[in-house]
Each structure stands twice: as structure tokens, then as C-alpha cells.
Amino acid sequence: MPHEELKNSVDAHNTDNDTQILSGPFYALGPAKSYVVLTDGGLAVDEEHRLLGENDKAIPGLFAAGSVGQGGLMLKGHGHHIGWAFTSGRRAGRHAATEAGINVT
């Protein structure tokens, strides 16, 4: 990132936000490149995102979401992983709350 562009970005942030960036050093990283975006496997989970232990028995209080909660499923296509992270996180959170006796609507 050119120096002037970084300065303009910090100045714009400081103008538009109550929390200001006041001192450096500043580091601009990039461009970001994705090389490894998945691993085969993952944690074993059930339909309620509960982590499965020995003999595929749910482990009380442990839930998995996002890529670790795919149960070996591979999602192909741009944006599917973040979509799954949002969806599975919401579902796992609801199931965890229900298990804890919290009423979630």
C-alpha cells in the first residue's frame, strides 16, 4: 500500500470514529493470498452440532461450528464457508442454549 494511501485511510478513520488511531508504527500487509483453504476431516458432529466422542456419543456441553463443525463435509464455491460459519454458529448456539436450559426464540 502506498504511504499516502495508508495516511489517507488513517486520517479518514480518525475523522469518522470516536476511537482514533493516534500513533504508529503502522504496518500494511498484503495483498492477501489464499493458498490452503481447507483440510480434509474435521470434528465429528451430529445434527445439533454436538461434538461426538467415543462410539459417536455426544459430549455434553461441546458444540462445533464453522469449518471444524462440518463433519468432513467440503464446501465448494466462493463464500460458502463464511455462510456455513454464520449458519452453523447460530444453530450451535441455539442448541447449546437449549441444552443449558435457556429459552431461545
Domain ranges of the chain: 3-99
Model-wide pTM > 0.75: no
CB 21 within 8 A of CB 11: no
Q: What cell does 46 get?
A: 451430529
The reported pLDDT for the residue numbered 78 is 72
CA 42 to mean position of chain CA atoms: 15
Predicted confidence at residue 42, as pLDDT, reads 74
Question: Which stretches of 1-105 are DSSP H helices?
Answer: 3-16, 80-99
Each residue's pLDDT expressed in tens, for the chain with a length of 105 residues = 788 888 898 899 999 888 888 887 877 777 767 666 555 667 889 999 999 999 999 999 999 998 888 876 677 777 777 888 899 999 999 999 999 999 887
